[in-house]
Amino acid sequence: MAASASQSRAHSPTETLAVTSPTTEMATSHEKDGIKEQHACEADANAAELAAQQQESKKHHLESSEHRMVKNNLWLVIPGLMLTVFLAALDQTALSSALPTVVSQVRGGGPSSFTWIASAYLLTATSLIPMWGRLSDIVGRRPLLWVANFFFLFGSIMCGAAQDITWLCVCRGVQGVGGGGIIAMCQIILGDVTPLEKRGVFQGAFGAVWSVASVLGPLIGGALAEKSSWRWIFFINPIIAAFPLIIMWFALKVPFVQKKTARQVWDEFDKLGYGLLLAAVILFLLGFVYAEVEGFNSSRSIGFLATGAALFPIFVGYEFLAERLFPTSRPIFPTRLFKLRTTTLLLIAVAMHGIAFFSSTYYIPFYFQVKGSSPIFSAVEQLPFSLVSGIMSVVSGVVLTKLGRYKPVAVVGLGVFTLGQGLMILIDAEQRKSVVLAVIFVAGLGLGCFFQTPLIGIMAAMPHEEMAAATSAMAMVRSAAGAVGIAVAGAIFNSKVKSGTEGIEGYIAPADPSSDILSISHLQPLALRNAVTVAYCDAIRLIFIVCTPLVGVAFLCTLFVKEYSLQRKVVQEKSKEEVMAAQRELDLEAANGEKSADTRAGAGASGGQGKTTSSDNGHASEDDAIVRQASASDSADSAEQPKQKSAE
């Protein structure tokens, strides 16, 4: 009934007229307009939200691409930084050729002394590099640069005065604290004072410093140990360091960092994260040190390696967690390093490259010494490897800057290095010297192209505010790779020499075969000398065989690296000295303003006590006000001009 009634009403003429009446049509039109307006508002809101997100993303990109830089005299600052790095690099390489003399003359020396003298430096230098990078963001660059130089120079003096091996090893550790800090801080400061798109040239020059140090170090160390005293290897550091330190004291200007209390520094520093990383690095490196001394089968070596390796993923997981739980704390390594494919692959490539570089640098001279060359002449014969790599470091930096791209330089460099490292497998006891020199020349060509190229790639992928932490991360990886490379190469060399000389009648390999290299050329009869030479050369060749696939892995990593732009918006900042000078001017203006106000208040009180005020005095006071206003305007204009010039 209801249904039929409703249907009849729906079809009745009266109902039809009602539906089509103007009033109803107007209401319906308003409803439709309201719906359209609602949809339009929602669309506008969505568009506004999307635009805001895009603007925020663009803003973040612009902020991450800004390079806040203080103007410096690069003709003074860059040589000062390079000479400081040269001293730290020279100290590592000069001692290598003098170690036999040092161990023989210092009380308590033994076969394991070679390992611990070198490892004490590498342990402290490598493990503390991340601390220098993050602390420099919190307290500033200059204070940490002076602290690092103090530890390095104090450790150098104490090493030169050492009377026994324990004393020398402890002081080498102190020296490593400063040496690692110098390397990290100089790289970070270089990033502060040079724009990213032009930094390849300067980074290439820094790479050349390492190559020159690897050439001159053994020559200087061997000459001092032979002609004077090995102690001058350490005593010479404070004498030479005075020159670059004076330059940087007066010429170096870095971005201003607000002074913080000890409590603020403590709160900002990633204490637990750094503790995990410190434990992981030290335990991992100790595992390789004991592997070199006792072999990889020793319980201590296995225990340290396993524990250190287990702590690394725990550290990475904690850094991601701490970023959410402790927003006021700054992670020791920015988590973006682990999130991006490019930075991860470049760090892996740096590690593989570092292992091969340090292993080859140490054992190419050993090969020439086994063949009868003196320590000094073996350093000369190594020039096609070390000197060429230094030249290519500079050349690759120039090419990178011209291209504005880092990936082609990295791919070509590691491709050539892989070829050269593979050709080094041909080096044996019977190989002609001309072939050996040609092979290490090819390896040096590719080696030098990857000294500083990965740092440019990492900087391009990271925002500038994380530059210091990212730089210290790469420096730590390369330093750790060097320690691992030397330890692994030493373990391979010792094991292979002992197994290769077991069947040779009339010869017993010493506990540390590297200490017996110089005596091989004097062995008699000739057949014994040739047999021992073959055993030693085969051990060195095995090191080159192991390094070849590692360099191949580094080459494959660079193939999948993403190319980021090197263009950055450079924003000129004031240095600490400029900020303090401006603050003093503001304080002086404020003090003068208070005195003027007090004077005017006293004059007003004196005038109020008088009975009459002449019109002339009134006009004079008005004129004084106008003069004061004009003077204030001139002061404001003069204060504004330096700001405009600074902005320009």
Q: Which two tokens stand for residue 108?
A: 């308590």
Rounded to the nearest angstrom, the gap between the alpha carbon of residue 211 and the centroid of all alpha carbons in its chain is 18
CA dihedral for 10, 11, 17, 22, sign (positive or negative): positive
Q: How many Cα atoms occupy the beta-carbon half-sphere of 4 within 13 Å?
A: 1
User: What is each CA distance from 323 to 79, 313, 330, 620, in whole angstroms?
Assistant: 38, 16, 8, 65
d(CA 313, CA 323): 16
DSSP-derived letter for residue 331 is P
> Which pLDDT score is estimated for 601?
64
> Which pLDDT score is estimated for 116?
80
Q: Would you tell me the crossing angle of helices 526-559 and 341-370 to the nearest 10 degrees?
A: 170
> Which pLDDT score is estimated for 420?
95
User: Could you give the 3-state DSSP secondary structure of residue 245?
Assistant: helix
DSSP-derived letter for residue 231 is T
pLDDT digits (tens, 9 = 90+) for 458-517: 989 988 788 888 888 998 999 889 888 888 888 888 888 888 888 788 787 777 777 677
d(CA 286, CA 300): 9
Please count the other Cβ atoms lying within 10 Å of the Cβ belonging to residue 616.
Answer: 8
Exposure letters 60-72 (e unless 16+ CB within 10 A, then b): eeeeebebebbeb
Closest of 302, 301, 303, 308 to residue 278, by C-alpha: 308
> Which pLDDT score is estimated for 637?
46
Q: What CATH number was assigned to the domain covering residues 69-269+330-572?
A: 1.20.1250.20
- 3-class SS letters over 31-88: HHHHHHHHHHHHHHHHHHHHHHHHHHHHHHHHHHHEEEECCCCHHHHHHHHHHHHHHH
Q: Please identify every stretch of the chain with a pLDDT value under 50, giving residue numbers as ranges.
A: 1-27, 50, 52-64, 609-648
Q: What angle do CA 424, 430, 432 make, to 5 degrees?
A: 70
Cβ atoms of 569 and 67 within 8 Å: the answer is yes
Rounded to the nearest angstrom, the gap between the alpha carbon of residue 522 and the centroid of all alpha carbons in its chain is 46
Cβ atoms of 353 and 482 within 8 Å: the answer is no
d(CA 529, CA 374): 16
Q: What share of the chain is helix, strand, coil (3-state, %, to 5)?
A: 80, 0, 15
Q: Which two tokens stand for residue 598?
A: 């007090």
> Which pLDDT score is estimated for 145?
92
d(CA 408, CA 375): 37
User: What is each CA distance from 424 to 395, 420, 532, in whole angstroms?
Assistant: 24, 6, 20
User: What is each CA distance from 480 to 62, 274, 351, 407, in whole angstroms?
Assistant: 34, 16, 8, 24
Among left, alpha and beta (phi > 0; psi -120 to 50; other), residue 506 is left
